[in-house]
Structure 1
Amino acid sequence: MRFIRFLVALCLSLPAPALAQALPKLPTASPSASASADAPEIAAQPAPDEDARLAARIRAIFDEIPALKGTGVRVAAGVVTLTGQVPDEKTIQQAEAIATRLNGVVTVQNRLERNLDVEKNLNPALSGVTGRINGFLRALPLLGVAIAVAVVVGMLGYALARQSRLWERVTPNPFLAGLVATAIRFVFVVAGIVLALDIVGATAMLGAVLGGAGVLGLAVGLAVRDSIDNYFSSLMLSVRQPFRANDNVKIDSHEGRVLRLTSRATLLLTPDGNHLRIPNATVFKAVITNFTTNPQRRFAFDYAIDHEADPCRAQAVALETLRNLDWVLDEPKPGAEIADISGSVQVLRFNGWIDQTRADFGKSRTRAMEAVRKALREAGFVAESPEYRIHLDHEPPQSSAPKSAGQATVDAEDVAPDHHMDRMVHAERGADVEGKDLLDSRRPTE
């Protein structure tokens, strides 16, 4: 503690200059020093003819520039003063920039003013327009050559695109052939434009044009994305071929005969004879059932018998009846099963297979149901309703028909396919009202 008091007393007893020398000097930042750190140093004693040399040099430069010719230049102690009138603000900035770049110039006082005289400002503008017109006239032959080259290249692309037979051989279907032809035309047209711009020396414009086209294409694509989706769905359907013409198909809940596949929609002929147009985007995403691809098709129907009846005997009678029908195939064999035994009845389910090339599905199912019902009724199995019934008598229900199992015989011609729908489809396709059909019978279906 005494040592600290001794040091404080010693510092207070020293004079101010000695104290200032004893303390360490701290670095300080000077705004003016930092501002002028990058500026060139000013000579303390310039050369005797420095100002005249700078003035002569600046005047010589200005005399070579038409807009600065005749501008007043005065140099004193390295300070350049510019006076006079110039055509525009750009020239004023140019004069100051030139004077500043000379070595030995301390600063520039720019007192140049823009000349607002009508004649002085109108003549350069008219001269510029005249010069552009003359330049355009001189470039007309080169421009004509560039246009001719672009037209020739584009016509070559169109000539190649018209070779429809060639592209149909290369591609799997007409729709894809048309797409290839369109792509060829586009490529040749763009190549012709690029060559024309290269000839006239304006290739830099191509980047701006392509950039603008890209932005415009993105905006248009977002606006018509549903149409684009339908377009690509048409392409995929034409390549994958999920059905043939005149196939009986079910697309989601819509059923009918396929008339044609166009670039926009799939056209069906409904059983009522109406035209049903489904967008290809919907068809591509839908669940498609094709009833024509496999000629063998199974039909099924239910028959309810009394709860106390023997289901095995009823199945035997029904299966024997189905096997005796001419249009029911032996392989696969007809089948029978108990579908439900809850409630007051037993529900039996019977099925059989037919060849759709020889028998109509609807007719076959109807005739089979009639034959089985007749045989079961003759065997004593009366069709029952699934509702509960109250019997006032205790006697079992009697069948009015004899209980012997009869053999049902139905003429096979009654189930022959009806070809009126085939004739309607053939007539519709022959009319060719929808343009080219994208379905190709030579290609395999998916």
Structure 2
Amino acid sequence: MINASRILIFLLVSGICSVVCVAQEETPEEPVNPPPAESLSAPKAVNVTPAVEDSEISARLTRILKATEWFEDPQVDVEEGVAFLSGSTNDEKYRQWAGDLSRNTQDVVAVVNRIEIRQPDLFDLSASYGTVKSIMRNTVQSIPIILAALLVLLFTFLAMFISGHLADYTILSRFQNKLLRGVVRKGVLLLVFLLGIYLVLQIAGLTRLAATVLGGTGLFGLIVGIAFRDIAENFLASILISMQNPFRYGDLIEVEGIQGYVQRVNTRGTLLMSLDGNHIQIPNSIIYKSKILNYTSNPKVRLDFLVGVGYDVPINEAQSIAKEILESHPAVLDDPEPTVLVEGLGSSTVNLRLYYWIDGHKFSVLKVNSSMMRLVKTKFEERGFSMPDDAREVIFPQGVPVTMVSAEEAAATKTALPQQPVQQPSRSPVEIQDEETVTDAEGSLASEYTELERQSQQARDPEEDSTDLLTS
């Protein structure tokens, strides 16, 4: 509002100054000394009495020069038909006129013009006084035009106020987006304001300037668009983002490898809060032209992890136990149901990939995955399932000592050892206790968004005064 008021005041002052300048151009400026009514061209002949004497010519010309009041102390001396002019004047044209007058006088054969041009005094303010007087006179004459222009401006502001409220209850009521409402409202107010400025210029007599203002508006917009191309691109991108709504406040998105929760969208960029609690602002042009991965648009999130069991472990039993663990976990959804697939046969393990879905709005992806891997490992160990590491080649630089045993000694050793049957682990339903679902180290399985939002509220907002376009 402050910037708009300054612009309106500037335009008002410019309009008043233009009116005054036009009035000055239309009113001819009078010189400090009034111009002569007679023509500056000398007459072709001066009638004098017959048998003219030099004294008569001198007296006649001197009286003429004094009568014009253009000269100071004019004096004409004539000797043998040669006229000597002396005195001073303010302008060269008056000096030239006196010489032509003398040449055209009867019985004057030559003219010696010694009239001097007076230089203005260093402290002579008469010229400035005349200019100021002319400006004041023109300003007074322009007062009716200025009052009419101010009245039109007043009605223009009133029309802008009424137009804005009418637009709010008619056209703008159909727009749900805050940014679009603001752009359309400003466009309506700008049209009314330009019409008022056009009428002011018409009243002031600046018809050409009024046409230039209307015609130059498009050119000015083109120049501004080229000079501020990036700003204009971000502004247009913000409008398109507001219309399409690819994300909402609080959504977890990923753009150009940057992941975070949406905090605000303004005319310049989109503010994200990363999972580390840092604020990241991305220009809207990049947001609009890049791939947007929205993790929150669908609350169901599929997670997976890999676990390897030994080749001695029954694969069907391992898959069944892993699936029962997934189905009994409180964070795992029943639809879609979890699956356990054999992904590959490693050098020393059979690799199982566990897939399951959770509600990303309620539960944390990192914490649920941690809880699930811990539970699977614990249950596999309880069942006696081996989970060997990848096979490695072991080198003994010093060699390995080997003791040769005879066949009789080996048979005696085998007989001495009691034969114990290999016990197969009993197949019983998998039960997960509540205290096993989550540990103190993992904390709650709830989503981290609440905690991150609380941390962001305690941090300084990098754009406290900016407008949030996500709020309607």
Q: TM-score, with normalisation over the residues of structure 1?
A: 0.60
Give the CA deviation at 1:323. 1.9
Counterpart check, 1:153 vs 2:153: no
Specify the SS of the correspondent of 1:260. strand
Specify the SS of the correspondent of 1:172. coil
Q: What is the aligned partner in structure 1 of residue 127 from structure 2?
A: none
Q: 2 CA distance for matches of 1:188 and 1:117?
A: 55
Q: 1 CA distance for matches of 2:279 and 2:372?
A: 32
User: Residue 220 of structure 1: which of 204, 209, 224 is its match?
Assistant: 224
Give the CA deviation at 1:220. 2.7
Q: What is the aligned partner in structure 2 of residue 250 from structure 1?
A: 254
Specify the SS of the correspondent of 2:282. strand
Task: Determine what percentage of the aligned residue pairs are the same residue.
Answer: 26
Give the CA deviation at 1:210. 4.4
Q: 1:138 to 1:383 in 2, by over 3 A?
A: same
Counterpart check, 1:275 vs 2:268: no
User: Residue 145 of structure 2: which of 124, 142, 145 is its match?
Assistant: 142
Give the CA deviation at 1:153. 1.0
Q: What is the aligned partner in structure 2 of residue 439 from structure 1?
A: 470
Q: How does 1:46-445 map to 2 (within 5 A)?
A: 117=93, 138-158=141-161, 160-161=163-164, 166=169, 169-306=173-310, 310-341=314-345, 343-386=347-390, 388-389=392-393, 403-404=425-426, 407-411=430-434, 414=438, 416-418=445-447, 420-421=450-451, 424=454, 427=457, 433-440=464-471
CA contact (8 A) 1:307 1:341 kept: no
Specify the SS of the correspondent of 1:152. helix
Q: 2 CA distance for matches of 1:210 and 1:71?
A: 54
Q: 1 CA distance for matches of 2:359 and 2:272?
A: 23
CA contact (8 A) 1:154 1:185 kept: no
What letter matches 2:309 in structure 1? I
Give the CA deviation at 1:158. 4.4
Specify the SS of the correspondent of 1:117. helix
Q: What is the aligned partner in structure 1 of residue 29 from structure 2?
A: none
What letter matches 1:259 in structure 2? Q
List runs of 5+ in structure 1 lacking aligned partners: 1-65, 73-114, 122-126, 394-400, 442-446
CA contact (8 A) 1:304 1:386 kept: no
What letter matches 1:369 in structure 2? M
Q: TM-score, with normalisation over the residues of structure 2?
A: 0.57
Give the CA deviation at 1:154. 3.4
User: Structure 1 stretch 335-344 or stretch 290-299: which is displaced more?
Assistant: 335-344
User: Structure 1 stretch 163-172 or stretch 129-138: which is displaced more?
Assistant: 129-138
CA contact (8 A) 1:343 1:388 kept: no
CA contact (8 A) 1:269 1:425 kept: no
Q: 1:182 to 1:140 in 2, by over 3 A?
A: same
Give the CA deviation at 1:68. 9.9
Q: 2 CA distance for matches of 1:274 and 1:201?
A: 59
Q: 1 CA distance for matches of 2:378 and 2:315?
A: 16
Give the CA deviation at 1:334. 0.7
Give the CA deviation at 1:149. 0.9
Give the CA deviation at 1:226. 0.6
Give the CA deviation at 1:208. 3.1
What is the aligned residue count?
328
Q: 2 CA distance for matches of 1:425 and 1:266?
A: 19
Specify the SS of the correspondent of 1:273. coil
Give the CA deviation at 1:345. 3.6
What letter matches 1:274 in structure 2? N
Q: 2 CA distance for matches of 1:120 and 1:208?
A: 46
What letter matches 1:424 in structure 2? R
Give the CA deviation at 1:332. 1.1
CA contact (8 A) 2:296 2:361 kept: no
List runs of 5+ in structure 2 lacking aligned partners: 1-36, 44-90, 98-129, 401-422, 439-443
Specify the SS of the correspondent of 1:383. coil
